[in-house]
Amino acid sequence: MILVAAMGILLLLIGFGLGYLFGNGIAGLVIALVIWAIMNLIAYFQGDSILLLMSRAIKISPDDHPRLYNVVEEMKIASGLPKMPDVYIIDDPALNAFATGRDPSKASVAITSGLLEKLNRDELEGVIGHEVSHIKNRDVLLMSLCSVLLGTIVILAWYGSRALIFSGGGRRSSKGGGQGQLIILAVAIILMILAPILAQLIYFAISRKREYLADASSALYTRYPEGLASALEKLGASTGQLKSANQATAPMYIVNPFRPKGRAVSDLTATHPPLSERIRILRTMAGGASYGDYDKAYQQVHKGGASIMPATALAGAGAVGLRAAAPAATLKEPEQSRVERTREVGDLLWQKSGYKIIDCECGTRLKIPSNIGKATVKCPHCGRTHQI
């Protein structure tokens, strides 16, 4: 909260400085606030649909991919969300997932097809638990407010520096307002340069804090930190880059979608804590799955560092046990192979792009485009005819 306030103050300062250059500090302040308010309104009402549209996510129903839908519903129950979030798939081989939506009763979870193919049920549960807790903790709202704040600061600073170069500076100094004005001018210039950098740093700090909290919540909901840890390990080993992400939406994803192409998710990523560290914390959680246990593990990994969990999360939390690998312990689902999962997701994407899937008795799976223009089709292997 302090960090968010710091960003807000930065915005006001830069607005004031900008206005001062044009001769009226208060007017600049008002303009900064108005711009910020407008951008916030847009982000609040349209943010999630814009994000989903930009990432080309496809909405799925329970029948399209029962396992994914069920896992999301399980996490919805475990976290006590008031409403089932919408479930989306992004057709992209990169490994990532994100959550969006302004409040817990209107939210969405999206996952790339690459990730869906790669994770087993426990790992998928860990990832979805992480995303659902972003919704539950209202991180989506917080981070979109912050990114709008950041964006506004960057835009204002950019215009301010242009104005300074092309017109402002000369006019002001020729008037000769004395030493006081000169100092203010200098401060304004420094602010123009520093504000965007400072805002970016604050923004990253907030984002990292929320990531830790989401990891801890995921462990709490699933009672099984190893699931998320091993999923993060798989995510870390991949080198693919998500095509449809952008700078402003980066904190919504489970791992930073921006990293040099061809390189593994490095420990230098800024919106997210280092992956290796997140994994180590989750694996250090030996005693239980509560926020307190996560905090202890965090401090252990950081060699006596400060607490990372917000005090409200730690207060009044009782001991929470871990569970064994197979949930519910009574029923064990046969582990699907990687090939089966890939086929499952592939078929789903074919269907979602308008193809009809027909299983021939000879074992061939026919994928028929919707504009084929014929009523029957022949199987290329055995020659049986199928009705479409």
The reply on whether position 363 binds other proteins by CB under 8 A is no
Angle at 214 between CA 273 and CA 79, to 5 degrees: 170
Token pair of 382 as six digits: 């055995």
Q: How far is the CB of 2 from other proteins (least distance, A)?
A: 24
CA dihedral 280, 283, 289, 290 (to 10 degrees): -20
CA distance 281 to 278: 5
Is 361 in the active site? no
Residue listed under structure tokens 């789903």 = 348
Q: How far is the CB of 285 from other proteins (least distance, A)?
A: 17
The reply on whether position 324 binds other proteins by CB under 8 A is no
Residue whose C-alpha is closest to residue 17's, from 166, 192, 193: 192
Helices 121-136 and 179-222 pack at an angle, to 10 degrees, of: 140
The reply on whether position 138 binds other proteins by CB under 8 A is no
- Candidates 178, 262, 304, 318: give the one binding other proteins (CB under 8 A): 318
What values do phi and psi take at 119, rounded to 5?
-95, 145
67 vs 283 by CB, closer to other proteins: 67
Query: What burial class does residue 127 get, using C-beta atoms within 10 Å of its C-beta: 0-12 exposed, 13-18 middle, 19+ buried?
Result: buried
3-class SS at 102? Answer: strand
The reply on whether position 291 binds other proteins by CB under 8 A is no
267 vs 333 by CB, closer to other proteins: 333
The reply on whether position 78 binds other proteins by CB under 8 A is yes
The reply on whether position 96 binds other proteins by CB under 8 A is no
80 vs 262 by CB, closer to other proteins: 80
- Candidates 6, 8, 44, 70: give the one binding other proteins (CB under 8 A): 70
- Candidates 4, 13, 44, 73: give the one binding other proteins (CB under 8 A): 73
The reply on whether position 327 binds other proteins by CB under 8 A is yes
- Candidates 1, 329, 339, 375: give the one binding other proteins (CB under 8 A): 329
What DSSP letter does each residue of 174-219 carry, written as one string? HH---HHHHHHHHHHHHHHHHHHHHHHHHHHHHHHHHHHHHHHHHH
- Candidates 334, 363, 373, 383: give the one binding other proteins (CB under 8 A): 334
Q: How far is the CB of 82 from other proteins (least distance, A)?
A: 9
The reply on whether position 308 binds other proteins by CB under 8 A is no
CA distance 135 to 120: 23
Residues 189 and 165: beta-carbon distance below 8 Å: no
Of 68-76, 137-145, 228-236, 248-256, the window that binds other proteins (rule: CB under 8 A) is: 68-76
Q: How far is the CB of 77 from other proteins (least distance, A)?
A: 5
The reply on whether position 74 binds other proteins by CB under 8 A is yes
Active-site entry in 125, 131, 211, 226: 131
Of 112-120, 187-195, 245-253, 327-335, the window that binds other proteins (rule: CB under 8 A) is: 327-335
Of 66-74, 167-175, 199-207, 280-288, the window that binds other proteins (rule: CB under 8 A) is: 66-74
Query: What burial class does residue 155 get, using C-beta atoms within 10 Å of its C-beta: 0-12 exposed, 13-18 middle, 19+ buried?
Result: middle
Q: Containing H/E element for 79?
A: helix 66-79
Sign (positive or negative) of CA dihedral 178, 183, 185, 186:
positive
165 vs 311 by CB, closer to other proteins: 311
The reply on whether position 212 binds other proteins by CB under 8 A is no
CA distance 378 to 168: 75
259 vs 356 by CB, closer to other proteins: 356
Catalytic residue numbers, as ranges: 131
**Contact residues for other proteins (CB under 8 A)?**
66-67, 70-71, 73-75, 77-80, 221, 223, 316, 318, 327-334
